[in-house]
Structure 1
Amino acid sequence: MTLQNDPSRHAEGAVDFGFDEVFFSRTDKRGVILAGNDVFQRVSGYGWGDLLGAPHKIIRHPDTPRAVFRILWDALGNGHPMGGYVKNRARNGDHYWVFGVILPMEGGYLSVRLKPSSPLFDKVRALYADLCTRERVEGLDPEASARMLWHAVTEAGFTSYTTFMASALGQELAARDIRMRRPVDPRTQRLIDLNVALEQVTQEQRKLLRSFESLQSIPNNMRLVRSRLEPSGGPVSAISENYRASSLVISERLRSFVTGRDNLCDRVSRQAARALFLLGADRVLGEMISRFRHAEPVAGIDWAAEGAGLERLRASGREDSRVALKSAVDHAEELTRSSSEIRRLMLGLDTIRVMGRVECGRLRANGGGLAATIDQLDLFHAEIKTRLETILRLSEEIGSAMSRFASTEFGAVAKR
């Protein structure tokens, strides 16, 4: 029996369908529809004769920003799976929202779509409305609109659109379980928790880098103090130069895995997000495959062949997720090692800071300016140590959690 839509979410002109219903469609490389299921046909309002051989964009609604399709096609064109919230339009002009899991496959693309209901969905609808308005009023092209969408995603705390979509898929699957009055799948919850932890550690890394950048002003302050207290080359000069050199080494080390193209943090996040998205997609594909067994015959669609194609896609997706998860585990271990190295380097900075405090004591009444500068260092160092400990803890937890998840999900295969 089809579960009915939540009445509070039903709006005039919206096509009604259940949370337990799953859309399926397959297209060629150009986006021409080659196959679909009964849910897709019924909700779209088109007959099979109108759907098969037609471009998939016949159901496109103008309230979906062009930015979304630009991001989707860029990912798919590079062979990467991607997801997205999409507002579609039925033949009679009514609309319906879906969360689509879109996967490249031999000869084209596959899309499996769910009814969205998570709190994130409400935020996305508001964002889409703003983007569509700006596209129309400002004449934004898809590229400019995509940059705005990407900026909104990063402002929300996500490091990439892939991590955003992996998080969205996990949240939609969990929300759907609740709507269907069944327990949240433990695997889905683990995916959500891992994604949250990954985003948290990346944000902590960036905050840590900003803290180190702020330290760069301290040696300059020391040199100003030195000019009033001693001739060039004295103890305060040596302390400020040593501190500057050591802090620069740490800052450069941090930048190598926090900023720049393909940095270590992004590699961890990107590979983990890819694995998590594919594992979420695996659950959706499994449900879709089971429904093919009860599909009514449709002229022009070979359900046995469609099911076999999905089985192959599911198997390759699981292998891709295994490889991505293994890569993410390796990168997470490297991240832990890098964080440990920075903690070790911080001990050297602490030694220099203590020398500055000793020099304050030697100067006594004349060392007021130096004492204030060292007080600043005390605050910065305390903040940095706290962030480092958080990063180390999270990195270790993420690596261990992903290793356990891989062992549970893939068994001995994960240890290759």
Structure 2
Amino acid sequence: MSNTDKCVSASTKFEMADILVSRTDKRGVIQTANALFQSVSGHPWEKLRHAPHKVIRHQDMPKGVFWLFWTMLQQGDPIGAFVKNKSENGEHYWVFAIATPLDDGYMSVRLKPQGPLFETIVKSYEKLLAAEQSKEVTPEESAAMLVEHIKDLGFRDYKAFMTKAVTEQIGMRDQELGNPTNVMIAHMAKAMEAWEKVSVEIHKTIEAFAKFERLPVNMRIQATHLSDAGNAFGVIAGNFTTLTGQIKGLISSLLKSGTALESALLEGLFLTCVTQLQTEVVDVFRHEVHQMDGVDKDTEVSIMQAQNQRYNAKSTEGLKVSASQLDGFNSIFASIKTLHSGISVMRVTADIEISQIQNLQTASLSAIVEELEKFLQTEGDRLTLMVDGASLVQHEIKCALEVNAKNNKSLDAYSGGLLKAS
């Protein structure tokens, strides 16, 4: 049964294929909605229109969720969140809501949620609500607690969480409904996954070089026991310190650039998911058969088409920014590789110096050089992983841009055909 075939009644169920849509003003007062939103909520349209959106708010929802929701929207950022709503008859229904700012308000699109992440966040909400009720925390403090819950789940921040959530929700929905996979989302999700692995290796490298700093120090100490014969090791240790300091500087630059890249990838992926849903929303409104007082279908379709185009443009720009940021990574990797080679040369020089000294003290130096050898092997392998990972990210972004260009070309042709037909 299609959305448009369903009667408008409080008994209407919220199915996986359904999309609930509403548009509010800046205060959150409902201006328009699709018929399914009205039927699932159970409220008559005359009560919903010009009512604050909290008319469907459930008392089990933590206030911190809505504090975060409105804070991001008022900053001009889109947001996605799992929300428990209350229907007119007192029953509840869960949604994954994606809200985006409009020029004069906000548009919200809702899917029926499912999956492990949804089940996990429901439990987090229960704990958050209990904290609000027992500790009398403010909504802002509650929002901060929610973000900490999100980090405990392994996410960098709330934006990373909501991006993962919307990607999963769309993927599970498409699979259950037998819809074709969104190729652009798939490429961007792979790019995000590949970058997360690169990021792990960058952090491991930073930790490894922090521990490595003791090796040149130990080499200097051991060299002092060799009198004049140890002078060469003092020089070698100094060179080690210089080279590793330069590598640490490059790794820090890589981390900084990587943080910016990750933000761009997250935004691009989230906006691409939003664009897919908004495209479906336009089609939902275009085929609405239940007219509600005060809702002009053509006007709503026009507003939603414009919003869809804006977010498609933002998604494309996010992809281009990501591609541009990756261009600088190869030069950083090349510089790190060159410095690695320099350390390898110093290691060989240390081996030669040790072989020329007949002294029991060289056993300690040999152990240091052996440890250095293992360090270089491990870090060389890790550098290869990072280079390969960054190349995969670049490939997936390139593929996503190509798909985006084809989609936009098809959309332009479709729009042009509509114009000629009219």
Calculate the TM-score normalised by the size of structure 1: 0.88
Q: Secondary structure at the match of 1:234?
A: helix
- Letter matched to residue 306 of structure 1: E
Superposition deviation, residue 173 in structure 1: 0.8
Residues 317-345 of structure 1 show CA distances to partners (whole Å, capped at 9, x for unaligned) of: 11111111101101122223222222222
| TM alignment of 1:15-414, pairs within 5 A | 16-230=13-227, 234-258=231-255, 263-295=256-288, 296-363=290-357, 365-411=360-406
Contact kept, 8 Å, 1:97 with 1:116, in 2: the verdict is: yes
Report if aligned partners of 1:157, 1:203 keep a CA contact under 8 Å in 2. Answer: no
In the TM superposition, what whole-angstrom CA distance separates every residue of 1:254-308 from its partner, at most 9, and x where no partner exists? 12231xxxx2112111112212211111111111111112321101211211110
Cα deviation 1:70-100 (Å, max 9, x = unaligned): 3333322222222122222223332221111
Q: For the residues of structure 2 that align with 1:245 and 1:26, how far apart are their CA atoms?
A: 60
Structure 2 contact 97–110 (Cα < 8 Å) conserved: yes
Give the number of the structure with larger relative contact order, counting CA–CA contacts within 8 Å between residues 6 or more apart. Answer: 2
Question: Alpha-carbon deviations, 1:21-57, whole Å to 9, x = none?
Answer: 1010111111111111122212222222222122212
| Larger gyration radius, structure 1 or structure 2 | 2
Separation of aligned partners in 1, 2:146 and 2:218: 41
The list of structure 1 runs, each at least 4 consecutive aligned residues, that deviate by more than 6 angstroms after superposition, is none
CA distance in 1, matches of 2:99, 2:226: 67
- Indicate conservation of the 8 Å contact 2:261/2:322, yes or no: yes
CA–CA separation in structure 2 for the residues paired with 1:310 and 1:44: 22
Gaps of 5+ in 2: 4-10, 410-422
Change (3 A) 1:353 1:74: farther
Q: Partner of 1:8 in structure 2?
A: none
Whether the aligned pair in 2 keeps the contact of 1:225 and 1:369 (CA below 8 Å) is yes
Calculate percent identity across the aligned residue pairs: 29
1:75 aligned counterpart, secondary structure = helix
Q: 1:11 corresponds to which residue?
A: none
The one-letter code of the counterpart of 1:331 is: Q
Given residue 217 of structure 2, which amino acid in structure 1 is its aligned partner? N
Residues 378-411 of structure 1 deviation map (CA, whole Å, 9 limit, x = unaligned):
2222222222111111111111221121122124
Q: 1:305 to 1:392 in 2, by over 3 A?
A: same
TM-score (norm 2): 0.87
Q: Which moved more, 1:41-50 or 1:157-166?
A: 157-166
- Amino acid corresponding to residue 398 of structure 1 in structure 2: V
Which residue is 2:414 aligned to?
A: none
Aligned length: 400
**AA at the equivalent of 2:287:** H
Offset of 1:228 from its aligned partner? Answer: 3.1
Q: Check conservation: 2:62, 2:132, Cα contact below 8 A.
A: yes
Task: Name whichever of 402-411 and 16-25 sits farther off.
Answer: 402-411
Cα pair 1:272 1:324 within 8 Å, conserved: yes
Rounded to whole Å, the distance in 2 between the matches of 1:116 and 1:269 is 26
* One-letter code aligned to 1:121: F
Q: Contact 1:35/1:52 (CA < 8 Å) preserved in 2?
A: yes
Unaligned runs of 5+ in 1: 4-13
Residues 221, 95 of structure 1: CA spacing in aligned structure 2 closer, same or farther, 3 A cutoff? farther
